[in-house]
Chains A and B, each alone.
Chain A
């Protein structure tokens, strides 16, 4: 049983990323289910996707049950910590977009994760996507880096296959170049 949470803000491509992750697990022979909150997602609100591999489960991951939390944005990852436990694997994008009217600080969130989760990984997907001139592809950049660093067990070829299955041909070509570049340079 694999329960995965992907948290971020609208516009980061959370839903597409969750699609690709579903496809990756399916290609490995899992039956998958997933759910997401969409609607206001375009508008910079909180977006969270749940991915579940297993029978007879609903689409929402129960509290404390998630095995993996992927945070495209840190405070959104923190918002969803109820879903994980201290043994969960945490992967955070080094990206902080402060919820307006709060005095939340990036350091505060980082410290919280460091203190509570032994299996914590920080990934610099935001900067790398920007440097590769694809700021809107933070999602796939994140996934590629996660796999490249062997945090999740998918090869470059497997990523490309899943992308091809999920994306339109035009989008696939763009993202293919991105994935190749990341494997070459970072």
Chain B
């Protein structure tokens, strides 16, 4: 059959076809759709779950692999940092059933804190890394990735970038699953990593890498015979192809699909008759550095243009136009100058991402903000939709670092700047991911902070995945629900308050103000389901009482409220999610509810 598949979906289809038995991951853009798609497949030897975090996921995959199952652990690039601990050990210990670590990098970045390059992780961990250029190629490479993993008994990194993960392509395939028998766990001393063994296994790992070079090189290829060599990989390959259209004779392309380890012979073969090499790659200069090293070691010196001499940008993503600019810069050839466009005619200001209309977090932030008015407060934030609490006019998030850091950084502030009150915000999924250990630390070490858990009963940012606090498993079937309140109590924290951010605003502010009064360690759970999970029964509108004071607009910053050219305030009925928050701030009873018929 032929189907349009997103890169991540193509990976999922191929994983299933190639007999994956266990698929685990933690959601994170742009990796999420691999598990989201896999969950639509069913088979008696196939298991899929959302795990509590990436380290948990990879360790589950490791266990299943040692028992002989084909497994995949999925995550985004920052998730790999969380899973770095098991990954580095696993590269030494080795695997049994094929184990793919699927990692989505985010050049740009479009929705991440970092632009880190997973190909560097491959060098760091001594692991092979596949780097497909398109959904179709990703589809085809899953099979060899499993085979290499099984043949050499090591995990294989499968790295894609946003433009491959989230691009779609029509792909022709047959949906037929390869059935494999899981042989079960066999006890061996190999699986217990003691220092003495680790040393031996490290040497083995280095050897494995040498051994697999030639075989992996078959996935890289040379195109064209021009004297100008272009080394590229990932989605940049297509930018190059398009940029040189019409001038193909000038160039030859080395398309690198397995970025590590590289086979010296193949690289030298390509470089042999080139006048220069241009490196077109996103993120870190991984190919540039590796190829340079090979050339240097073999006494070959040719001009090189890339990131290290500022011909190619270090940060952000590339596209056809940028690649064309690079060729113009290197070759001073006017044919690569780009045409004029409408560029400067109309300047459209950047559209800031906002908490959705009706988002319960908007109300929670404002409740805390009002309750803390007049006090000197530091607000620490975390990763999720609610990072947007930093945006005006909410402005109730002063820091954001990584998953779980709101709670721990708050303690750092308390130690260093104790005169201030410190309030940490964290979402429900993030709390389970890596907030718990921080909270345990604050109890143990007597750090008196306030932790607000913004519980919207889902993982909102990545598209509503379940987690331990929802109690639902990946198919919506019953798991066991972990109660945030019992967990907090179990640590020993006694001061707990649960609030519905949609209920009476003034009353909530009073409750929170009182809660903040004494400076003890305490947890407030704001609980209300994400506005996108509920179908809408009503919306709000502005009536003729409106005196255009703009208070509703200025205080809430709700994207559904705006003013027109004549200064008339209106609520966009298509956007309003009917939370009723704005109504609290109108002194003229000008905001009223309209029921949807």
Interface, chain A (partner B; CB < 8 A): 9-11, 18-19, 22-23, 26, 30-40, 42-46, 56-60, 62-64, 75-76, 78-79, 81-85, 97-102, 104-105, 108-109, 112, 116, 126, 130, 133, 135-136, 138
Contacts and interface: CB of A to CB of B under 8 A. Distances in A.
Contacts of A116: 342, 345
B241 A63 contact: no
B562 A60 contact: no
B356 A11 contact: yes
A43 B167 contact: no
10 tightest Cβ-Cβ pairs between the two chains A and B: A39-B111, A58-B238, A59-B167, A35-B167, A62-B320, A45-B353, A102-B349, A39-B29, A79-B348, A135-B574
B311 to A, nearest CB: 20
A33 B168 contact: yes
A118 B320 CA distance: 27
Nearest to B576: A135
Given A43-B388, A135-B573, A36 B348 contact: no
Interface in B315-360: 319-321, 324, 338-339, 341-343, 345-346, 348-357
Given A18-B168, A43-B388, 15 more contacts: A23-B4, A33-B134, A33-B170, A34-B167, A34-B168, A39-B30, A40-B111, A42-B356, A45-B354, A57-B241, A58-B319, A58-B320, A59-B163, A78-B348, A102-B349
B597 interface: yes
A9 to B, nearest CB: 7
B388 A59 contact: no
Given A43-B385, A97-B572, A100-B559, A63 B355 contact: no
8 contacts: A33-B168, A35-B167, A38-B166, A42-B385, A60-B163, A63-B321, A101-B352, A130-B573
A81 B346 contact: yes
Which has the most chain A C-beta neighbours within 10 Å: B163, B351, B352, B461?
B351
A22 B342 contact: no
A34 B4 CA distance: 9
B163 A35 contact: yes
Contacts of B239: 58, 60
B569 to A, nearest CB: 13
A81 B111 contact: no
Contact of A19 (B4, B134, B350): B4
B4 A26 contact: yes
Nearest to B343: A82
Contacts of A75: 348, 351
Given A62-B320, A99-B351, A19 B168 contact: yes
Given A19-B168, A31-B170, A126-B574, A84 B342 contact: yes
Contact of B110 (A31, A37, A60, A78): A37
A159 to B, nearest CB: 16
